[in-house]
Structures are given as structure tokens and as C-alpha cells.
Chains A and B, each alone.
Chain A
């Protein structure tokens, strides 16, 4: 599937060729895959975990897992669907880990720590408006953090990653009807949280 998404990254192009090259012994083709998908994986991890350092560790874990399993990839699904599945599962496992719960308990997750958001605020012309925008993003992220992992995954995959219901179904292993009903419930719950804090 070759489909252009909102951030301009083309998914699926040349993935099969790169994977086959890797499976034939060309390890460098893996690096090409990392460069191609690192931003999407890192962003999904960041939105899922709500912490910059955790997101970096988790997304590294994702690519290490991909490297170790890529020789067994049999093209039954698209590579990026498989990659997203690994990413979601890695993040879910990380959230369930005791170490992550301890971090979440002891450290208030703040977007202020994210240098990227600081950069955005500096780049814009209207600092007051940007401050407001930055605060909204922080509150939205906090509301996302409070969602259960299942709801969080489905919201992120649909509304931030822009995947179709079918693609989400393939990633989380659920039928179309289940995806629709879970997305509806997740959006209602997130909206309820946002109405409370915004």
C-alpha cells in the first residue's frame, strides 16, 4: 500500500525491496528503514508514553525488535502495519512495567521538558498565542496519558497517525466493528476529560 499521510512521509514505498535485501544479507537496508520510519515510531511512542526519554528508549527497543525479527517477516501484512503493531505492544508493555509506573508516580510529565515544543514557541510570531497553544497541547497530552492503553492506542493510530479502521484492526488484531465502537468510546472519554480541563 502506497499512501501519503499528513506529514508527507510515504509509507510502503520500497519496503518490500529493502526487507528482501536485508533478508539476503544487506544489513544496510535496515538502516534505510530506520531512517524512513524513525519519526513516526518516535512520535507514536512519545504520544503513547508522554515522556521524551521514555519515548526514545521505547522506539529504540522497537527497532531492535524489528531487526531481530525481520528475517522471519513473510509479507503477510504490510511492513508499516507490522511496525506499528510492534510499537503499540512495546509501549503497552512499557506502561505496564513497574519501572514506568514508578516514573509516572514520581515525576510530573511536563511538555516543557520537550525541546521541540520550546523550539516551536520560539519560531512563531505571536508568543502569547503560542503559549496558549503550547498549554493546550500539554493538557491534551495529559488527557491522552490518562486513557487506558487500549483506548490510547486506537486514538493515536486514528487521529494522530491517520490510519484507516482496517489498518488499525490489523495492528491491534480486532475486527472492524470492534475498532469503530472502541474508537467511538475512546473519543467520547477523551472529549469528556478535555472538557473538564480545557
Chain B
């Protein structure tokens, strides 16, 4: 038998667990082979040395440290027991009830808010539909807040003053107060003497309709037959025509803002009428 095969049997030979046939082979081989005999002796010494290695004492406070670690861990485990069951999050009944109630309240309120029909005094413009004329002349505070706020002078008498919002029985949407809006005065001179304001507004309604625009909302002043303001949407390509038509009733002071070149979105305007009385 080759030395390599004998060396593999040496381990069991030393442990005395080798079978009889192997025992005989190793016995005979190591008598003749110095190399394998040396391997056997050195391995036997090594095994004996390992068996007799001194035992190392455990640190004196070992048990206390283990118990401390377990107690610390037990607190975490207790928390886990409360929160988890079979690896799944276990939610206390009170928390479940609270979350469910909060969710129901949210759903009900949300539905109420989105289902509420606007009254006629609301400016019914969704935020993403509001388009602002991006004109440098517009007060920066106006940008992104709502429609262009214009004041429209009914009649052309000097000293005409805007109607205070406080005097209105119903005013806009509350998105932006008039004080925060850039105020452009549309001074419109009467085309024909004696024309009543409501007739002018009726004409303006017709113009809005002709240019493909639409009235979004109106606000009324107490005791007045005509609207205090009208919020409207005018297609961008008809914006200049719309202004020109309105100019047939008078002139604008100062000039209305000009749309930026290439501007295609509908323009939303809120025109507040001023009394000449």
C-alpha cells in the first residue's frame, strides 16, 4: 500500500477505531517505512498534546454578564411580543379602532369637499386651470395665485372710485384679496350717453361669447342690478380681439397687459366693475 493511503488511515489508527484489516496494514507499513512511522509518531504526539491542553477559565463575572444580556434582551422581546404575532405586526385593538375612525372621518370629509357644488359666488376655477398672463408688468405676487384682476370703469366720469370689497355681499373665492392683486384700471368711456351699466355688461357678455370665451362666475353687490365683477376665460388667440371689442365701449387706462409671444393657454380674467355714481 502506498504511503499516502497509510497516512489517511493514521488518524483512525491513533484513535483505535480502525478496522482489523486497516490495523494490520498500518502496523506492517510503519515497521518498514521510516517516513510514515515519523508521521505516525508526530501525529500521535500532536493529538496527545491537544488532549492535554490546559483549560482556560471563564471570566469570573461571565454568568452575570450573560444574565444581564438576557434581561436586556427580554425587554426587547416583550415589546416584540406585544407588537408581533407569528412574524406579523400585531396592532392593538385601540390603535386599530383609532386608525379606522380617522380614516372614515377623512374619507367622509374628503368626499364632502369634492362633492360640494359651488355656489354662484365662487370662482369655480380649479387651480391647475388658472392661467396667468406672464407679463412683467404684473405684480409678482399675482403670479400663480389666480386670475388677472382687472377693474372696469362703468362710465368715464372722473373721480370714479373702486367699490370696496367690504361692500360686496358676495366676493370671489377668497383665494386672493383685492389688495394683493395687481390692479389695472380699465377706464371705459361710455359710447352712448344714458346707457345703463347693465346694458354695457350685457354687451360684454356677448363679446365674451363671440370670442369663444365663457363666464366662470359673477359677484353681485347689494342693491345693484349689474354684477360687481365677472370672472371669465378667454382663448389666448382671441384675447386681443376681446380687448379691442371692449375698447368699443371706451378706452383702457392703463393699457391691458399683452400676452407673451406664443402663449396658447386660455386667459382667465376677473373684471371688477366700478360705479360712476
Contacts and interface: CB of A to CB of B under 8 A. Distances in A.
B85 interface: no
Contacts of A46: 56
A165 interface: yes
Contact of A116 (B8, B57, B73): B57
Interface string A52-73: 1001100110011001100000
A142 interface: no
A50 B57 CA distance: 14
Interface string A168-184: 00000000000011011
Interface residues of A, number: 45
Contacts of B63: 31, 34-35, 38
A60 B69 contact: yes
A191 interface: yes
Contact of B54 (A56, A68, A116, A159): A116
Interface stretch (B41-49, B97-105, B182-190): B41-49
Contact of A137 (B51, B54, B66): B54
Interface centre among B12, B14, B55 (most CB of A within 10 A): B55
B176 to A, nearest CB: 60
B62 A56 contact: yes
A60 B12 CA distance: 34
Contact of B59 (A31, A56, A159, A195): A56
B140 to A, nearest CB: 56
Nearest to A7: B55
Interface in A66-105: 67-68
A187 interface: yes
A183 B73 contact: no
A60 B54 contact: no
B39 interface: yes
A101 B55 CA distance: 25
Given A60-B69, A180-B12, A191-B39, A6 B51 contact: yes
B260 to A, nearest CB: 61
A194 interface: yes
A43 interface: yes
A114 B54 CA distance: 12
B50 A140 contact: yes
Given A38-B58, A194-B46, A64 B51 contact: no
Nearest to B11: A184
Nearest to B50: A159
Nearest to B18: A180
Contacts of B49: 136, 140
Interface in B1-56: 7-12, 14-15, 17, 39, 42-43, 46-47, 49-51, 53-56
B200 to A, nearest CB: 84
A160 B53 contact: yes
Contacts of A185: 8
B67 interface: yes
Contacts of B51: 6, 159-160, 162
B56 A187 contact: no
A101 to B, nearest CB: 23
A195 B198 CA distance: 116
Nearest to B43: A191
B43 A43 contact: no
A46 B53 CA distance: 12
B203 interface: no
Given A68-B73, A159-B47, 5 more contacts: A6-B51, A34-B67, A39-B55, A64-B70, A188-B7
Interface of A: 6-7, 30-31, 34-35, 38-39, 42-43, 46-47, 52, 55-56, 59-60, 63-64, 67-68, 114, 116-117, 120, 136-137, 140, 155, 158-160, 162, 165, 180-181, 183-185, 187-188, 190-191, 194-195
Interface of B: 7-12, 14-15, 17, 39, 42-43, 46-47, 49-51, 53-59, 62-63, 65-67, 69-70, 73, 77
